[in-house]
Amino acid sequence: MILNQWRYAILLGVFIIFTARADFDGRVVRILDGDTIETLSASGQSVRIRLAGIDAPEKNQPFGQRSRQALSALLAQKAVQITGDKNDQYGRLLGTVWMEGTDVNALQVKNGMAWAYRYHGRAINPQYEQLENTARGNSIGLWSVPGQTEPWRWRQASKE
């Protein structure tokens, strides 16, 4: 009986640790590119955020600098809320950035400054895919120039 209670307590603890979310308020202190920012949390911790669900052009790719500038215009030195629960292979928190209740990740896609992120060819966020399709159909942002290369293909070609 006591052993079962301990097992339950340990399993509950493990569950809480692995499902904890990294929701916090912060101030944007740096824009690295169109889908990566650095924030300073209220506790003074620097946290690098990869905007989840989107993929912006690389810095040296067409529209890469415009995407970064668009994100900077939205977020530079602004107070934001971050919701996220995992890190990518580079240690960045994968998160949704909220400013005054607005999903900034979605704004980047809506404004034609990023693609909806795809995994095995499918967008991981259907709302972002709809925003991308609308931006594409209206020739907004990067969609105003035909023949854009998806960032994941650009990165792969750069490795070869």
Asked whether residue 106 is assigned to any structural domain, the reply reads yes
Q: Which of 68, 92, 129, 132 is catalytic?
A: 92
Q: How confident is the model at residue 160 (pLDDT cuts 50, 70, 90)?
A: confident
Q: Which tens digit of pLDDT belongs to each residue from 8-48?
A: 544 444 444 444 457 999 999 999 999 999 999 999 999 99
37: burial class by Cβ within 10 Å (0-12, 13-18, 19+)? buried
Known catalytic residue at 50: yes
Residue 7 has pLDDT above 70, yes or no: no
Asked whether residue 156 is assigned to any structural domain, the reply reads no
Asked whether residue 151 is assigned to any structural domain, the reply reads no
Known catalytic residue at 92: yes
- Domain tally, the chain: 1
Domain membership of residue 69 as a residue range: 24-144
Asked whether residue 136 is assigned to any structural domain, the reply reads yes
Known catalytic residue at 122: no
What one-letter code names the amino acid at 125?
N
At 15 the pLDDT is 46
CATH number assigned to the domain comprising residue 115 = 2.40.50.90
Asked whether residue 83 is assigned to any structural domain, the reply reads yes
At 157 the pLDDT is 87
At 1 the pLDDT is 57
Asked whether residue 154 is assigned to any structural domain, the reply reads no
Q: Which of 58, 68, 129, 132 is catalytic?
A: 58
Q: Which tens digit of pLDDT belongs to each residue from 61-119?
A: 999 999 999 999 999 999 999 999 999 999 999 999 999 999 999 999 999 999 999 99
